[in-house]
Amino acid sequence: MVLGLTYIRAISAAGGAPVVVPPLDPEQLEAVLASTDGVCLTGGPDIDPAAYGAEPDPDLGPTDAELDATELALARSAFDRGLPILAICRGSQLLNVALGGTLHQHLPSIAPPAPAPVVHHRQTDPAHRPTHTVSLLPGSGLAATLEAEELRVNSFHHQAVDRLGDGLRATAWASDGTIEGYEAPARPFLLAVQWHAELLAHRRPDQRLFEGLVTASGRTRSRSADAAPLEVAQ
Ligand code: MN
């Protein structure tokens, strides 16, 4: 397992107590989620397109079947449990697949509609340096959380959301039309961003994503606390 400490630090700075979940069998996953208040789905390798019924593109990157299976199960279970979810980069792609959506497997092969300029989604600049702009849907949960309608972001992906899964709405786009963020309007807190917000968490807008997750997770905790005496009474 390899996970950047930047996720841990961003969640800690927002007041949360992060725990990293390793690949587990379904029963273990349920046990972990039963005592979890919210979930951050993180970055990582490409997702095997078999997960959404597509043939692999010749330019598909390396995939990890065990990681896909664990994280897809975790994402579905967290969603079914109504837990707050913040999904980042691969996590955003994975949550979309878990909810019935599909991906562009190799973004450079998707030509933007003319006259949109080509956007380089795999930057060579350092991660803390934003390289392209995203436009946010005014009035969306993502725009409200970021307190912005336009934002400069970093970009380290060669896959992206194609068709959105059930109940999801795109709320951020790059200038070439690539979906860079989405949310589930019917949910109290389900936000997904294609950029690496954890590497930009020194900025107020990105900090607010993690604060949003931790605040929503606190509400999960108070709901569980409210429910506890009832369980005892039974
Ligand atoms: Mn991008």
Q: Can you give the pLDDT at residue 234? A: 47
Q: Can you give the pLDDT at residue 185? A: 95
Residue 107 Cα, ligand 1 centroid: separation in angstroms? 10
Q: Can you give the pLDDT at residue 228? A: 62
- C-alpha closest to that of 86 among 205, 213, 220, 204: 213
Residue 231 Cα, ligand 1 centroid: separation in angstroms? 46
d(C-alpha 181, C-alpha 224), whole Å: 30
Please identify which of the residues 40, 71, 89, 180 carries the catalytic annotation: 89
Q: What is the 3-state secondary structure (H, E, C) of 20-42?
A: CCCCCCHHHHHHHHHCCCCEEEC
Residues (pLDDT < 50) of the chain are 234
Q: Can you give the pLDDT at residue 194? A: 98
Q: What is 6-105+161-171+182-226's CATH superfamily?
A: Class I glutamine amidotransferase (GATase) domain (3.40.50.880)
Q: In degrees rounded to 5, what are phi and psi of residue 68? A: -55, -50
Q: Can you give the pLDDT at residue 202? A: 95
* Three-state SS at 176: coil
* Three-state SS at 154: coil
Segments of the chain assigned E as strands: 39-41, 85-88, 103-104, 132-136, 150-153, 160-161, 169-174, 179-183, 190-193
Reply yes or no on whether 40 is catalytic. Answer: no
Residue 21 Cα, ligand 1 centroid: separation in angstroms? 26
Q: What is the pLDDT of residues 105-164, one digit of tens each?
A: 999 888 777 778 889 999 999 999 999 999 999 999 999 999 999 999 999 998 999 999
d(C-alpha 21, C-alpha 184), whole Å: 24
Residue 157 Cα, ligand 1 centroid: separation in angstroms? 6
Q: Can you give the pLDDT at residue 113? A: 74
